[in-house]
Structure formats: C-alpha cells, structure tokens
Structure 1
C-alpha cells in the first residue's frame, strides 16, 4: 500500500490552488497524481457534444503534462465517442466511479466521472497494475479539489449573464492568443493555415430594446445572442462578452475569407431568430486578421474601425478592416470616441 506524507499532500494542494488558468490547473492535477499514486497512465478528458454524439477530447496526459500542451492532433484519440466505450458510457450514465479489468489482464482502469452543470462533463482515467482503494480515494479527492477550484476560476473568468468569457479575461488572454499565433506562424510551413481572425459583434439599436421593452427583455436578448454565438462558432474559438451589447470572437486557424463566411453565417442566424417579445434584431460585425506584428490595441482598434464603418453605413453587415482599406473606404485613422453612437 502506498504511504502518503501529510506534508507532501498539503504542498500538493497548495500548488494546485495557486494557479489561475484552467490548462495549468489540468497539468498540475496530472503531475500531482503522478507523484502520489503508482499508475501506468493518467488521462484527463472533457466531453464535447458534436453532431448529437458525446465526443471525447483529451485535455492532458502524462506526456503532454511534461510538454505543457496537447497538440490538436492528439486531442481526438480512440475511442473518440463515449458511446464506443461501454465502460465510459456506463460511467457517463450512472455518474459513479467504475473499475474495469484490462482485456489482456495486465491491470485495471479506473474511471472517475467529472460532474458538470448538465451532467457528466468529462473523465479522469487511471490505469495501474492493480486496484488500490486508497490510491483511488486520493485521486478522487484531488479531482474534487480540481473541480471546486476550477469552478472558482470559471466564475471569475465568465460573464454572469451570458456565460461567455468576460472583458477582464479578454484583456488577460489577448496577449497569450497573439503569442500563440506568432509561435504557430513561425512553426507553420503554410502561414495561411495558422491565420486567426478577431471580430467585434454589436447588437444594432440595442438601446431601443431596453427603452421599449425594459432591461429584463434586454438581458434576455443578450443571453440568446450569446447562445447563437455558441451554436455558430466552434468549441476552439474564443467567445467574449466585451461590454454591454458588444461581443468579441477570436476565430482560430482560418483565413480572412473563411472567417468572413463564418461571421456572415452568424449574422444571418441572428437576423432570422425571433427573440421573445422583442421580435427580430440585427447585428453589425467588424473583423480583422490577427497579424504577427500587431499589438492587441492595434488589432482591437482595427476591428473597431471596421465595426464603426458597418454601423455608419447601414448596420446589419460584416465588414473587414483589410478590405475596407483596399477599397479606399478607410484611411487607417482610428475615429475619435463620440463621433458616432454605435449602440
């Protein structure tokens, strides 16, 4: 039986709860368990609903914990679908820890469910030579600490009303987003494969919604607008409520043409949606390609110029900064605040 040093356990808890972002927390959880319990494999998964199926995404394992990241190619590993693995499916359905013997008799796999808002949101799987109850109790305890602390982080990072990432988180992440983009550009043989787009989305005439229907219905419009964003954009795209009725989306690994097509699809989805009591609303969008040389303030300023143009010239449209420049519709000068009422 594994002997646990109380001081070591407490140090592990302190280390785990000293982190401030989800991925670092995931890595720390795996490294902590590696140091505490004997296991041949420890993996952390999340469940992502795609095409009506419960798909697995690898968040971190022992190798990626040491590398510091999971390459995109490794995030979808066999079995990709929860339904394809009877043990995972049973754990998903019951919400209870499950122990199964490996097919070749070499050991056991223990599956710890991770509870989410709408049911089981992921799994921690531990493979070892034999089932040791105390080891799995330690794994379950640290998983609970991880879940509780992750909830605190999520609460501080997300907008209370819409559930999207908030402005504070955007300010913290934009530098990391651009640093990752620059690193990807340097690694990529084809830079187009690593392009990213940033867009500012703004609800047209939102002040009239609040004035005519009241803030309760205004809040409902914001919530439903955010839900349309979540349905339209991919899981890997980053969605933010930037402030008031203004939202930001960072589209990963798309060129400008593809990004504009996605944003246009979103604009049409908003236009076609019937909001309770309010009826139909529209949105204006300003987009820009994230450049390796640009600063965050430059990127935001350029997207804001494109949004300004969209609002000034009819609203309910998607405008790209680069194309407006090419067409001579922008001079590259940032409009002064207060020149136009965007909202």
Structure 2
C-alpha cells in the first residue's frame, strides 16, 4: 500500500485547522478511513480508573454510517476492563506501539494515539496485508494528531490546577444540551447512556469559604496550594463521566452526568464533607459552600449558572459549609437575596 505525500498533507491540513476535540477526533477517523479503506473503523478511548485501564468505544465508521461518542459523554456502563481483552490489545495499550492481528489475508490493525500513554486506540478492520508497509506513515499522522491535542489541552485547561477552564465549560455546556436532544434512533443507541428514571444533568457552583482570609493570613503561595489540593479532592470524589471546571479565583463548577435527584444531593454532600475532613498543610481546616441546580432541557448557561449562584449565595448567607438546592429553596420560599453589601465578608 502506497500513501502519497499529498494525501497525508491534506489530512494534516484538515486536522490542524480544527480547534474542537470532537471534530478533531472525527477528522482523524475520517482521514484514516479514506486513506486505508478498511472494511470498518472503530475507535476506543483508553480510560484509567482507580489504577486500572478500561476501553470505551467512541467511534464506528463504515460504508453506511459514521457514529461518534463525544468525550464529555463517557459511558461508564460501556467501559470494559483492559485485562479482559485479548493479549494483543493489552500489549498495544501498554507499549504504545501498533500491531497487526490476523493471518495476512484479512487483518486488523491496531493504532494507538499516545500522550505519552495511549489515550485512543484506532481499530482498522479488514485491511490488506500491504497496509503494514504504511505503518510508519500512519504513526507519523497520529503523532501530528497527538501534538495538536497537546495544544488544545493548553488552551482548555486552567494553568494552576490543570482543571478545565471557564471557556471550555461554555463549549461543553452547549454540547451536552445538544446531545440530550439527539433524535436519530441509531445515534441515540450509540450515544446515550443507560439512565435511571428521573435522571438529569446537574450543575453546582463550589466556593471556598473565607478564601480571602487564607491568602491574607498565609500568603498566596499557600492559597495556591489550597486550590491545588482542593482540586484533587474534588476530582477523586467525582465519577469519570462528571466534569469539573475552575472558573477562576476560589470558584469551581461541577456538571454531573445524568443523575437522579437524591443521588445528586449525595454527590454534592460528599464533596463538601471530603473537603471539610481534609487537613491542609499550614492552613488546617478549609470548608466550601455549594449551590446546585438541575439543568432543564433548553436552558442556557447563564440561566443555569444564575440559579446555582443564587443557591450558593444563600449557603454563604446562612452559615457556609453547606449544600443548597436552588429548587428546594424556591419551594420553601427561601429565594436567595440579591448580592448586596460587603460580599468580601461572605466570600
């Protein structure tokens, strides 16, 4: 199999103009599919959970359809432990090197994308034996893709904590709402998670209590350490399919994947307790206040953030170190007051 320089250059040019991770993933799959012409292309995310690697399908390309699961819609129910996969798959995920499986007639080619550990595994079904000759060129293409991902990471993440930033939240929020409204039946089966009745998306604003006092008393170096440690605490308490963002200063935002009401309350309470129980070096005890709300279909980001912010403000006004549900406050006629007076005393 001979891959021309022009064909490779066309794919590289297409990939490097993209700034959206999902579009980039689709662009890679489409480029490889058009270049190699396998019978089918599948993509598998390599996800690590509690020290164990899992595979979750995210791509499926063939002559009839092109299906894709965005990164923000990771489905834990569909993840399969890597240890249960054939030895060749485990070897590729551990070594980061491609491997061809088959009898030389109708082979399957496994191509890992590494950063530097494998994060994505491309499976090309039914490729010609001559495709093996093009593996170095295909590896070069995947390296360009990986380098571009690194640049996207830099733009999408907070420089101090490594969490996703506010700009990324805005992009993710719009995608999540769009995915919730997918109407095509085939895409629904491929995209949507298994849900419990009444499950919904949830958003919470988390704010460190008296963070200004921490900076004033111990200095910004210790304040930054609190932000770093707290980020780690929150990440460990959340599931892989949940998303955590730093909005700036001492404010964080969590978006829970579809979760029943009672479970959402327990998740946010678990976050609060985990922070309260941690002893921060030099600083000692730190607490957070949390305001959260259900994300209604068709809602816009500013409305949802406004509701969560109102619940957060109520928590700050009434003792801090607590979780408040905006809907519950409204039902109890405890509408949060407008921001007024000296907010520094609350935050």
Shift of 1:30: 0.7
Matches of 1:310 and 1:323 in 2, distance apart? 12
- For the residue of structure 2 that corresponds to 1:336, the secondary structure is coil
Aligned residue runs from structure 1 range 216-235, under 5 A: 216-235=221-240
Q: Does 1:206 align with 2:204?
A: no
Q: What SS does the corresponding residue of 2:159 show, helix, strand or coil?
A: coil
Give, in angstroms, the shift of residue 190 of structure 1: 8.7
Q: 1:121 maps to which residue?
A: 119
CA contact (8 A) 1:30 1:65 kept: no
* Aligned counterpart, 2:339: 336
Q: Does 1:239 align with 2:244?
A: yes
1:316 aligned partner: 321
Q: What TM-score does the superposition give when structure 2 sets the normalisation length? A: 0.86
Once the 2 structures are TM-superposed, how far is the Cα of residue 204 of structure 1 from its aligned partner? 0.8
- Residue-by-residue CA offset, 1:102-148 (whole Å, 9 max, x unaligned): 6xx7533333333235x333323333242533432232122111111
Greater alpha carbon shift after TM alignment, 256-265 vs 312-321: 256-265
CA distance in 2, matches of 1:273, 1:74: 28
- Would the aligned equivalents of 2:56 and 2:75 in 1 still touch at CA under 8 Å? no
Deviation at 1:243, TM superposition (A): 1.3
Instruction: Quote the Cα distance in structure 2 between the aligned partners of 1:67 and 1:120.
Output: 22
Instruction: Give, in whole Å, the separation in 1 of the partners of 2:196 and 2:82.
Output: 35
> Can you list the C-alpha shifts for 1:39-63, whole angstroms capped at 9, x where unaligned?
2333332222234421111222315
Encode CA deviations 1:176-207: one digit per residue, 9 max, x unaligned. 333333458x9899995451111001111111
In the alignment, what sits opposite 1:165? 164
- In structure 2, the CA distance between the partners of 1:53 and 1:219, relative to structure 1 (3 Å rule), is same
TM-score (norm 1): 0.87
Unaligned runs of 5+ in 2: none
Other-structure match for 2:46? 47
**Structure 1 unaligned spans of 5+:** none
Partner of 1:98: 99
CA contact (8 A) 1:59 1:75 kept: no
Map 1:17-166 onto structure 2 (within 5 A). Answer: 17-62=16-61, 66-69=66-69, 76=78, 80-84=80-84, 85-101=86-102, 106-116=105-115, 119-127=117-125, 128-166=127-165
Provide the secondary structure at the position in 2 that maps to 1:159.
coil
Secondary structure class of the residue paired with 1:253: strand
Report the Cα distance in structure 1 between the residues aligned to 2:330 and 2:264, rounded to whole angstroms: 17
Match of 2:332 in 1: 327
Give the alignment's Cα RMSD to 1 decimal: 2.8
Task: Tell me the CA shift for residue 311 of structure 1.
Answer: 0.6
Distance in 1 (CA, whole Å) between partners of 2:124 and 2:181 is: 36
Query: Residues 147 and 340 from structure 1, CA distance in 2 versus in 1: closer, same or farther, beyond 3 angstroms?
Result: same
CA separation of 1:173 and 1:90: change in aligned 2, threshold 3 A: closer
Q: Helix, strand or coil for the counterpart of 1:234?
A: coil
Aligned to 1:263: 268
Deviations 1:147-192 (A, max 9, x none): 11111111101111111110121233323333333458x9899995
Residue 9 (structure 1) aligns with? 8
Tell me how many residue pairs correspond in the alignment: 334
SS at match of 1:20: coil
Query: 2 CA distance for matches of 1:46 and 1:165?
Result: 19
Cα distance change on mapping 1:308 and 1:3 into 2, 3 Å: closer
Looking at structure 1, the residues matched to 67 and 110 of structure 2 have their Cα atoms a distance apart, in angstroms, of: 24
SS at match of 1:236: coil
What secondary structure does 2:55 align onto? strand
